C-alpha cells in the first residue's frame, strides 16, 4: 500500500460488524457523545486493571452508554488507588508516564492529524511512503541532463536554458558552499541595494524558489534578480520588478524564461508596458510565469492575469487544486496548476536550517516548479532535432514563446475530477505515456516529438 488515510481516531473491531457503533451521537440525554472513544477508554481500563469491565446490560443505548461511563469513572478511581507491590511512587510514575505519552504519542498524532505529510486528496489526508511529486521533479530533468551530455560528447553544441528568478535574492546553501555541487547561478543583480555583484537573500523566499527550479531543471542556468527584501516589501517593489524584467530579458542576460512567484491585487502599468516591450524586442521568444495568488477571497493576481504571462495555480500531488487558490476567473476560462504542496522533504530540510518555515505550500511554490518543468521541456526540445530526423524546427521554435509553453503544459495536463476548468500539469504522465510507443525509431523520442509537435502545430 502506497498511502494510508490519516484519521483522528483508531479503528478497533469492538463490536459485531452487524451492529456497529456510531462515530458520534450528539444526543442531549447522553453523558458521553463519542461511544468509540468511550469503548477505547474502557479497553484501556481493562488492560490497566487486568480484569474484564463489569458492564451491566441496559434497556437501551442511552442507558447503556450513561451506565458504562459511570462504571468506568468508578473503575478509574479504583485504579488510581491501587498499590504496586514494592513501589511507593506510583503517583509520580503516573504523572511521568502521562507526560511521556503526551510527548511521544498524542503530540505526534496531533501533528499527523493536522498537517501530516501535507498529502491530501480532497478532505482526506494521507501518509505515503514517498512524495508523489519527487518523480516529477527528478526523473525528466535527470533524463534530459544525460541526453544533453551525450549530445555534447557527440560534438553538438547546445546552449543551456536560462531561467531568471525575480524574488528576494539567493543564498548559497551548504551543498554549494562545501563544494558538493557546482552552483548553477550564472548571473545576479540586486535592484534593492543597486548591486550588480551581489543578490544576498536575508529572507529565504527567493532561495527556496531558486532551489525548486534547480531541482526540477538541473541543466538550466539560473539568473537571480533581487527585487525585494522580503515578501512584505513586494508591494512597493513594482519599479524594481519593471527594471528587473528589462535587464533579465535584455542582451546582457538573454533569459529564456522569467519566473515570478508573487502577485499584486492591482495591475501596475509600468510592468504591463515592460512585458509588451520585451515581447516585441524579443519577437515573443521569451516566457513569463507568475503565481496566481493564495487568497480564495481575491481574484487572480497581477502579473499572472496579464495575457502574455502564464498564471500558475497550486495543486497537491494528486492533481487536486488547493483551497488557497484565488477565486475562479470571471470569464470561466481554464487554469493551469501544478505541484504546490506535497514536495519531497529533503527540499525543506536544508533550507529550514537557515530559514525556518520560510514558505508555505501555495502558488509561489507551484510557479517555481512550473518554471523548472518548462526549462526541462525547452532543453529537451533543443535536443530533438539531433534525435529525430523528421523534426520540424519551425514548429519546435514556437516552444520558446509563452503561448508555446502554455500549449505544451496543456498537452501534458489532465483535468481535475469534477472541475473541467482546472488542468493539472503532469509531466510524469507525459514522459510515461510517450515512452516506448516507437522504441524502434530513435529510442522512443519520436513519440514525444509527435506529442510536442501536435501541441505547437495548433498555434500555426
Q: Which grid coordinates are listed for 309?
A: 504571462
| Amino acid 407: pLDDT | 95
**Range with the lowest mean pLDDT among 38-52, 166-180, 414-428?**
166-180
* pLDDT exceeds cutoff 60 at 130: no
Q: Which single residue is written with the C-alpha cell 494528486?
A: 318
What average pLDDT does the structure give for the chain? Answer: 83
Residues sharing a CB contact under 8 Å with residue 39, sequence separation 6 or more, in sequence order: 12, 14, 15, 21
Report how far residue 241's alpha carbon sits from residue 237's, in angstroms, rounded to the nearest whole number. 6
Q: Which residues pair with 290 in a beta bridge?
A: 260, 311
When pLDDT is cut at 50, 70 and 90, the band that residue 423 belongs to is very high
* pLDDT exceeds cutoff 60 at 441: no
303 preceded by a cis bond (ω within 30 of 0) = yes
Q: Which grid coordinates are listed for 155?
A: 560534438
Compute the average pLDDT of residues 126-153: 66
Compute the average pLDDT of residues 271-284: 97
Report how far residue 161's alpha carbon sits from residue 258's, in angstroms, rounded to the nearest whole number. 11
When pLDDT is cut at 50, 70 and 90, the band that residue 429 belongs to is confident
Compute the average pLDDT of residues 297-315: 95
Q: Which residues pair with 84 in a beta bridge?
A: 87
When pLDDT is cut at 50, 70 and 90, the band that residue 45 belongs to is confident
Best mean pLDDT range from 119-128, 140-149, 301-310: 301-310
CA atoms within 13 A on the CB side of 48: 17
Compute the average pLDDT of residues 3-14: 57
Report how far residue 107's alpha carbon sits from residue 26's, in angstroms, rounded to the nearest whole number. 26
Q: If one looks up domain 130-457 in CATH, what number appears?
A: 3.40.50.200
Q: Which residues pair with 221 in a beta bridge?
A: 162
Compute the average pLDDT of residues 395-413: 95
Residues carrying an active site annotation: 167, 205, 364
Compute the average pLDDT of residues 32-50: 83
Compute the average pLDDT of residues 378-386: 89
Helix axes of 238-249 and 269-281: crossing angle, nearest 10 degrees:
0
Compute the average pLDDT of residues 167-195: 79
Q: Which of 306, 298, 325 is nearest to 314 (CA)?
A: 325
Report how far residue 198's alpha carbon sits from residue 171's, in angstroms, rounded to the nearest whole number. 10
Report how far residue 410's alpha carbon sits from residue 459's, in angstroms, rounded to the nearest whole number. 13
User: Given the DSSP bridges, would you call strands 257-260 and 162-167 parallel, antiparallel or unpaired?
Assistant: parallel
| Amino acid 220: pLDDT | 93
* pLDDT exceeds cutoff 80 at 119: no
* pLDDT exceeds cutoff 50 at 337: yes
Report how far residue 174's alpha carbon sits from residue 177's, in angstroms, rounded to the nearest whole number. 5
| Amino acid 440: pLDDT | 45
Task: Note the helical H segments in 126-258.
Answer: 134-153, 174-177, 205-216, 238-249
Report how far residue 382's alpha carbon sits from residue 455's, in angstroms, rounded to the nearest whole number. 16
| Amino acid 154: pLDDT | 62
Q: Which helix (H) or strand (E) holds 394?
A: helix 393-396
| Amino acid 168: pLDDT | 95
Q: Which single residue is written with the C-alpha cell 519527487?
A: 134
Report how far residue 360's alpha carbon sits from residue 340's, in angstroms, rounded to the nearest whole number. 9
Best mean pLDDT range from 62-66, 85-89, 94-98: 62-66
Compute the average pLDDT of residues 265-282: 96
| Amino acid 44: pLDDT | 84
Amino acid at each position: 500500500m502506497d498511502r494510508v488515510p490519516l484519521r483522528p481516531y483508531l479503528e478497533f473491531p469492538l463490536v459485531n460488524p452487524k451492529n456497529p457503533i456510531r462515530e458520534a451521537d450528539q444526543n442531549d440525554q447522553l453523558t458521553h457523545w463519542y461511544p468509540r472513544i468511550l469503548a477505547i477508554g474502557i479497553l484501556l481500563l481493562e488492560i490497566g486493571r487486568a480484569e474484564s469491565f463489569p458492564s451491566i446490560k441496559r434497556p437501551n443505548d442511552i442507558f447503556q452508554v450513561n451506565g458504562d461511563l459511570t462504571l468506568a469513572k468508578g473503575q478509574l478511581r479504583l485504579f488510581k488507588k491501587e498499590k504496586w507491590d514494592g513501589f511507593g511512587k506510583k503517583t509520580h510514575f503516573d504523572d511521568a508516564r502521562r507526560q511521556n505519552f503526551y510527548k511521544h504519542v498524542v503530540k505526534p498524532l496531533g501533528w499527523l492529524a493536522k498537517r501530516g505529510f501535507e498529502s491530501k486528496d480532497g478532505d482526506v489526508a494521507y501518509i505515503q511512503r514517498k512524495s508523489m511529486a519527487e518523480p516529477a521533479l527528478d526523473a525528466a530533468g535527470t533524463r534530459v541532463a544525460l541526453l544533453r551530455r551525450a549530445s555534447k560528447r557527440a560534438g553538438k553544441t547546445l546552449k543551456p536554458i536560462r531561467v531568471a528568478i525575480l524574488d528576494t535574492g539567493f543564498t548559497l546553501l551548504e551543498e554549494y558552499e562545501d563544494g558538493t555541487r557546482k552552483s548553477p547561478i550564472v548571473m545576479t543583480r540586486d535592484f534593492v541595494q543597486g548591486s550588480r555583484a551581489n543578490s544576498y537573500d536575508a529572507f529565504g523566499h527567493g532561495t527556496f524558489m531558486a532551489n525548486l527550479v534547480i531541482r526540477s531543471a538541473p541543466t538550466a542556468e539560473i539568473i537571480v534578480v533581487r527585487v525585494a527584501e522580503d515578501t512584505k516589501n513586494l508591494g512597493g517593489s513594482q519599479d524594481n520588478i519593471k527594471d528587473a524584467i528589462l535587464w533579465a530579458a535584455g542582451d546582457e542576460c538573454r533569459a529564456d524564461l522569467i519566473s515570478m512567484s508573487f502577485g499584486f491585487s492591482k495591475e501596475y502599468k509600468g510592468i504591463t508596458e515592460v512585458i509588451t516591450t520585451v515581447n516585441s524586442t524579443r519577437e515573443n521568444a521569451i516566457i513569463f510565469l507568475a503565481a496566481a495568488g493564495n487568497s480564495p477571497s481575491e481574484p487572480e493576481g497581477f502579473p499572472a492575469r496579464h495575457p502574455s504571462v502564464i498564471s500558475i495555480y497550486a495543486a497537491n500531488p494528486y492533481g487536486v487544486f488547493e483551497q488557497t487558490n484565488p477565486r475562479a476567473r470571471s470569464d470561466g476560462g481554464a487554469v493551469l496548476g501544478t505541484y504546490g504542496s506535497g514536495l519531497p522533504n529533503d527540499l525543506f530540510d536544508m533550507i529550514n536550517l537557515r530559514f525556518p518555515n520560510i514558505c508555505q505550500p501555495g502558488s509561489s511554490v507551484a510557479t517555481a516548479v512550473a518554471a523548472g518543468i518548462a526549462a526541462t521541456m525547452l532543453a529537451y526540445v533543443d535536443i530533438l532535432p539531433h534525435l529525430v530526423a523528421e523534426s520540424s524546427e519551425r514548429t519546435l521554435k514556437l516552444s520558446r514563446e509563452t503561448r508555446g509553453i502554455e500549449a505544451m503544459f496543456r498537452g501534458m495536463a489532465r483535468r481535475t475530477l469534477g472541475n473541467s476548468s482546472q488542468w493539472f500539469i503532469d509531466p510524469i504522465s507525459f514522459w510515461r505515456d510517450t515512452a516506448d510507443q516507437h522504441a524502434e525509431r530513435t529510442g522512443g523520442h519520436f513519440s514525444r516529438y509527435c506529442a510536442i509537435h501536435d501541441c505547437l502545430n495548433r498555434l500555426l
